[in-house]
Amino acid sequence: MPKKTITAQSARKSAALFDIGNIVVILLPVLIPFWFGASIFIYAFMRHNPNPKVGEYTQWAAYRFYGMIGALIPIGTFFPLDFRYYLVTWAVIAAIMIPWSIWSLHRIKHDDWQDTVYESED
């Protein structure tokens, strides 16, 4: 089986992708349904990256996103038809999610990344 290499820079960018998506989506909430679908693909793809750190960072970013957005469903069920309740909920989610994702990006940037060599079936 031929060996392939994932560079440290590529692994670091892959690990940051989910957190960057989380920040963009929270800043532009109209994109949440699209990110919800795209994030499933990104999660499945990145979680199985040969570099285990990519999967770990992606998994934690997914926990944050799905937890925050998932909490909106049972909480939002009891909201009256006043749009302000959704705005307050969005502000609370943004106040939690954005700093947490920035902190995660900081950790990714300062982590010790190494090239990953793996065997490919190609």
What is the pLDDT at residue 72?
A: 87
Q: How many CA atoms lie within 13 Å of 11's alpha carbon, on the beta-carbon side?
A: 23
* Residue range 9-35, pLDDT digits in tens: 999 999 999 999 999 999 998 999 999
Q: Which residue carries 């300062």 as its tokens?
A: 110
Helix (H, G, I), strand (E, B) or coil at 111: coil
b (16+ CB within 10 A) / e for 78-98:
eeeeeeeeeeebeeebeeebe
* Residue range 86-98, pLDDT digits in tens: 999 999 999 999 9
Rounded alpha-carbon distances, angstroms, from residue 90 to 10, 29, 60: 32, 8, 20
Q: pTM for the whole thing?
A: 0.88
* Residue range 63-84, pLDDT digits in tens: 999 999 999 889 889 999 898 9
What is the pLDDT at residue 122?
A: 66
Domain assignments of the chain as residue spans, ordered by start? 10-112
CA pair distance 105, 39, nearest whole angstrom: 17
Cβ neighbours of residue 43 under 8 Å, at least 6 residues apart? 18, 58, 59, 62
